[in-house]
Structure 1
Amino acid sequence: MPVAGQPLRRMGFLTIGLFDADDPAAGHETTLQIIELGERLGFDSAWLRHRHLQFGISSPVAVLAAASQRTRRIELGTAVTPLGWENPLRVAEDWATVDVLSGGRLNPGFSVGPPMNYERVRGALYPDTGDVEDFTTERVARLLRLVRGEPASDFRGRQGFEEFSERVQPHSPGLAGRLWYGAASRKSARWAGEQGLNLLTSSVVKVESGAEDPDAPVDFAEVQRASIRAFRAAHPDGDAARVSQGLVVIPTDSATAEQRARYAAYVEARTPRTASPQGPARMLFARDLIGTSEEVAEQLHAHAGFQEVDEVAFALPFSFEPDDYVQILTDMATRLGPALGWRPTG
């Protein structure tokens, strides 16, 4: 577990990769350019969100395959791939392939549960098996076995002119150690620890029922810290188990007056949802952090969740322009990161 006040060891960023439906190539190219910029600025990692039937990246693994050929050092991750949309055998093949192409830089993050809006997409996604698909952690267990190299078939050998393997090919031995689970609750964080996975925390946590008075104020940072500690308590590596935090962070040091005004309006519009847990699942959103790097660093150092980690993947706001991302990433790398004790990777 990091010691309070110790330097930030690893800094990455996360983007949704928005695009215009009438010109999707331009948006995807912008995402690749942002990843290239991240490498030049010395970021340790770049992560893509997974968006189905939306105007954000629907196939992060394909985009990261392209990014792997335009970068040489920066690690590439998904945060997160919802496994309810995936066949574990096929996604294991895709991840292993991109990991090989990238030279061992892929960090797949994933989550479990039914696909979003499942009743609306079931007919297209699982027309014949929709009622019997297993969206529990057993789907994850299948994936883990396959990535770790356990048999996927009972046959190995030659058929005619073709050679067959009993396990997923290509096999990338280091990939299993770079699998991340996106957990919002203590229960799921504890489960991830028991599986020996790495933990992704984000700007959303689940306030579990019975943990406190439903009407009492809830502190996001304290809830997040409890989940991180539950994860490490269950993990074989204990306090050394890896956790990455993913808050929305907007440094404004080099922003123009127009940018600062837009950023402030964005944050103001999103702030009401952070006042209390939302919906039956009691999901609680973190406040976006905005201000100069010095101001943001001060807020982070006081954040109980941040105090538990030594690596982050700051989330870029969804709806900003490419020039905004350039400004934000540049300020992160040249001002905020150093204020947190981080050093860029050459």
Structure 2
Amino acid sequence: MESFVLFRGSKRLTLKEDDMTAEKISRIFQVQGPSLFITDDNNVALFPEASGHFNSSALVGRGHYEVHGENIYMGESATAAPATAPQVRFAFHRPPSAAAGSATAHGHTRAAKTFQRNIFIAEVVDGKLETRKTLTVRFSEFEASVTGMTNKVSSDFDEEYSLVLTDGQGNRLVDSEGTRGSTFWKQNSRKIFAVKEEDLLQLQVSKRRRLSRREDGGLIDVLDKIEEVVLAAQGLQDVSSTMKDLMDMVSSNIRRVFLSEAQAAAVKQAFTCIICQGPVVEPMVSTCCQSLIGCRSCTEEWQKNSIFCPKCRADDFGHNMQRLTGISDALSVFKDLLWE
């Protein structure tokens, strides 16, 4: 049979399960029966059932329980109070909010569990959220929602204006399945800000402007690159003209072209790969010096070991390279004429 330790003040004793009745406990500890109740180590109140016995299923063997209740006044009658002290029946007085958040089972009452988290009162400075004040909010499970937390913050805040809850990036929190319940709100690692509604609108406008500038900046970079390619093409105007003449020769089935040594040397130098010193294959031009650099395979191999242009030594060589297409036949003629 289980036993339980009961105490009140300095008085302490152990009772068996059969002795856990309101009548015996009230006599032992001189407590008026109607007001008698006990509390466990978690300060949970336990009351006797209608039969006068305490429910053994709600008790823990060898557990310690403190006895509470109105004292019995000692006088002519051990059970009656003096006339000058009218007997008042013991009763709990709980506010409606506490009653709504409590549950009664097996004759004992539990208070609603509460949580707390920090809410950062912020304002918008230079398009960013700046914390002005930190507010610690206590809330229960049924208050754990965007609406409930907004009301809690507004009631704890002195100034009168509409507040909006946002995440750390300034995105407005909306009521959804993910934002309902204490699981979301009790995580203090997730920063939550409260800002004025007009400040949030200002922040959103600022974010849109930054995004617009970023997109425009990307377009400007593209236009600059196109301009560089155009300039490079303009610098190769003479080369393009020579290529056209050579293409005309091919079309006319001219197999041999007689050039002076100086002319041959100039043309050969113009279409020699700077890297391998052979005839250019799949020519690549550079926007940094607006020149024909050399073979595609040679320039790709060069980029593996150097970021500098092999001709003008400008850096960022890989981004300055452009492929020159449509002249394969002309280059084939050069090879036949000058590299036999």
Higher relative contact order (CA 8 A, sep 6+): 1
For the aligned pair, the TM-score class normalised by the smaller chain equals under 0.3
Bigger radius of gyration, 1 or 2? 2
Q: TM-score, normalised by structure 1?
A: 0.17
Greater share of residues in strand: 2
